[in-house]
Structure formats: C-alpha cells, structure tokens
Amino acid sequence: MADAGDPMIPRLFRAARVRRELHDVVTLDLLPTQGEPAPFRPGQFNMLYAFGIGEVAVSLSGDPNRHGTYVHTVRDVGAVTGAIARLASGAILGVRGPFGTAWPTEDAEGSDVVIVAGGLGLAPLRPAICAVLANRARHGRVVLLYGTRSPRDILYRHEIERWRRRLDVDISVTVDHADATWRGNVGVVPKLVQHAEFDPLSSVALVCGPEVMMRFTASALLEKGVPAERIYLSMERNMKCAVGLCGHCQFGPAFICKDGPVMSYDRLAGLLAVREI
Ligand SMILES: Cc1cc2nc3c(=O)[nH]c(=O)nc-3n(C[C@H](O)[C@H](O)[C@H](O)COP(=O)(O)OP(=O)(O)OC[C@H]3O[C@@H](n4cnc5c(N)ncnc54)[C@H](O)[C@@H]3O)c2cc1C
Ligand code: FES
C-alpha cells in the first residue's frame, strides 16, 4: 500500500474523462479532488466505490509513468460495475488503493517477455506493456498474444495498431468467432503460444484473462519449456477489505488481495487443479 492514509477510507476522485471502449466496457481517467494519487505498479488494483451501491476491485490500466491520474477499464457485469460504467464525466467516486502484487517487469529485464491476454485481461496487462516498451532496450523479444470472442470485442484497438507499427514487438491477435471483415487468426489464444517465437528458458510470461484461459495458456507455456516460476497469472476473487483482514478473497492458503493478484504459476498450479476453491 503506497498511500500513507488509512487504506480502509476511500479518497474522493473525479472522473475527468470517460470513454466507451466496447458496448459494455468504459475507460475512466480519475483525478483526486485533493492532492496527488499514490503511485502504482503494473498489475495492482484499486477498490472503486460507487456511492450508495458498493465497492469493487478494478485493476489499474494506465501507463505507470503517467503520474497524477488513475486509469481504469471497467466491464459492466453487475450492480457496481454497471453504476461505474454509467458515470458521466465530472462524476465523483471513492477510491482505495493501490493494492496487491505487481507484474515482475523489472525482474524481466534481460529476458524475452511473453504477454498473453484474454478479453478484458488486456486491461491489467496494459501498464506492464507500457513499462516494458518504455524500457524496450532492456528486454529481448517482446511478444503480445491477445484473444477475444469476436473482432468487435477487441479492446484498445487503436493502441494495438500503434504497438504493431513498432518493429520491435511481435503481436498476434485471435478471435473465437470471426465475422465477414476478419482476416486474422481464429481460435483460442493458448494456440498462439505454440507458434510464437521466443526463448522459453529465458522468458518471463505474464498472463491475464478468464481462469480457464489462464490454465490452458500456462499448460501451453510449460509445454514449450517456460519454467513454472517464470509464468505469472493475475487471479480474481471476490474482494471486500482488500488488505488481508476479511478472508473474502481466500484461495487455499493465499489471500488474493495481498499475496496476489499477480502470482507465479509454481504457487498456483496445485490450487488451480482443485475444484471449488
Ligand atoms: C484483482 C481484481 C482486478 C479486477 N480488475 C477488473 C478490471 O480491470 N475491470 C473490470 O471490469 N473488472 C475487474 N475485476 C472484476 C470486478 O471486480 C467484478 O466484475 C465486480 O466485482 C463485479 O461486481 P458487480 O457489483 O458489478 O457485479 P455483481 O452484481 O456482484 O455480479 C453480477 C453478476 O455478474 C457475475 N460476475 C461477477 N464478476 C464477474 C466477472 N468478472 N466477469 C463476468 N461475470 C461476473 C456474477 O457472478 C453475477 O452473476 C477485477 C477483480 C479483481 C479481484
Ligand atoms: S479482500 Fe479481505 S482478505 Fe482479501
């Protein structure tokens, strides 16, 4: 927790900008009504509080080097995310955080970096991509593999196109279901791992998406020779306190709010194999 204040008390933030990404997804730029926001590390999350409705965990999705603003990308799946997705520019909401562990972008210096995202899982990975590209010379190959349900569900489409114009990032996008306009890959994202070019033994893999996608992706990475301790997943569990007090986010012996959300696969593999944890 980087903020010196009480981690249980939300600070007031204003939605300075709200932009629609997809039919059910918005990105908000949040500015504190007073003072500076605490810095965050790629992979961390905030608790966003829609007044009178409730509080939910949402990952930071902005560039960690852009100080002063928290960027969050939110999919409307229920009561609180729906209320946040309907906020207009200028609206006030409560923010606690940043909380949790980070993608190991600094440990990945000198290594190939393989980033695998499924659906909205690209949002928590976006700060890591920004950090890696800001230090591009310090890494080997940088590979981004991204899968969505359909072409109309591609998040940050313009930014992916911009990253693709660079000649130092290998980007593959796949969709589960193509439409008449789609000329790219069709199939699930773990299949892209097989054909991607990187040095498995010297790679660090960062994976975020639905749990089933992360399990199959981790298996594909292991099969290719990436060591389990160099594969990192971002876990989601229901959160309440976000500081390791209430037990809501318990996952076996771990609390996802403080031991995660980013955890290495050697710690997770056994737990992911158990149903109903
Ligand atoms: C560490 C962490 C980071 C997260 N980062 C993000 C993020 O960057 N952006 C984001 O949009 N969400 C993110 N989430 C998920 C977000 O917290 C949940 O979607 C939210 O808690 C749902 O609350 P709600 O009140 O809107 O829905 P509820 O009213 O609680 O749920 C409504 C219905 O939606 C279902 N549901 C709940 N969560 C999800 C889900 N994730 N996907 C599909 N269906 C769901 C429930 O089963 C229920 O049927 C993150 C969660 C965690 C733990
Ligand atoms: S959310 Fe309370 S212990 Fe993790």
Q: Residue whose CA is closest, atom 9 of ligand 1?
A: 74
Model pLDDT, residue 1 = 41
CB of 251 closer than 6 A to ligand 2? no
pLDDT at 260: 97
Cα Dmax for the chain: 53
Pick the atom of ligand 1 nearest to 77's CA: 34
Ligand 1 pocket: which of 56, 212, 239 to mutate (most atoms <8 Å of CB)? Answer: 56
Write the secondary structure of the chain as one string of H (helix), E (strand) and C (coil). CCCCCCCCCCEEEEEEEEEEEECCEEEEEEEECCCCCCCCCCCCEEEEEECCCEEEEEEECCCCCCCCCEEEEEECCCHHHHHHHCCCCCCEEEEEEEECCCCCCCCCCCCEEEEEEEHHHHHHHHHHHHHHHHCHHHCCCEEEEEEECCHHHCCCHHHHHHHHHCCCCEEEEEECCCCCCCCCEECCCHHHHHHCCCCHHHEEEEEECCHHHHHHHHHHHHHHCCCHHHEEEECCCCCCCCCCCCCCCEECCEEHHHHCCEEEHHHHHHHHCCCCC
Q: Is the CB of 25 under 6 A from ligand 2?
A: no
Q: Which of 171, 148, 150, 174 is nearest to 159 (CA)?
A: 171
* pLDDT value of residue 277: 65
Contacts of 226 (CB under 8 A, 6+ apart): 114, 200, 201, 203, 205
pTM for the whole thing? Answer: 0.95
**Residue whose CA lies nearest to ligand 2 atom number 3:** 244
Q: Which atom of ligand 1 is nearest to the CA of 60?
A: 8
Amino acid 274: pLDDT: 80
CA–centroid distance, 100 to ligand 2, in Å, is 11
Q: What is the pLDDT of residue 127?
A: 98
Q: What are the structure tokens assigned to 156, written together?
A: 């940050």
Residues 184 and 175: beta-carbon distance below 8 Å: yes
pLDDT of residue 218: 97
Half-sphere exposure in the Cβ direction for 75 (13 Å, CA): 11
Of 266, 264, 269, 268, nearest to 101 by C-alpha is 264
The tens-digit pLDDT sequence of the chain (277 residues) is 444 578 999 999 999 999 999 999 999 999 999 999 999 999 999 999 999 999 999 999 999 999 899 999 999 999 999 999 999 999 999 999 999 999 999 889 999 999 999 999 999 999 999 999 999 999 999 999 999 999 999 999 999 999 999 999 999 999 999 999 999 999 999 999 999 999 999 999 999 999 999 999 999 999 999 999 999 999 999 999 999 999 999 999 999 999 999 999 999 998 888 876 6
Residues 6+ apart with CB under 8 A from 161: none
Q: Which of 55, 241, 263 to mutate to test the pocket of ligand 2 (most atoms within 8 A of CB)?
A: 241
Beta-carbon contacts of residue 275 (< 8 Å; ≥ 6 apart): none
Residues ≥6 apart with Cβ < 8 Å to 66 = none
Q: How many CA atoms lie within 13 A of 132 on its CB side?
A: 30
Q: Tokens in use for 254?
A: 């771990």
Q: Which amino acid is at 43?
A: G
The residues pairing with 186 across neighbouring beta strands, listed in sequence order, are 175
pLDDT at 2: 41
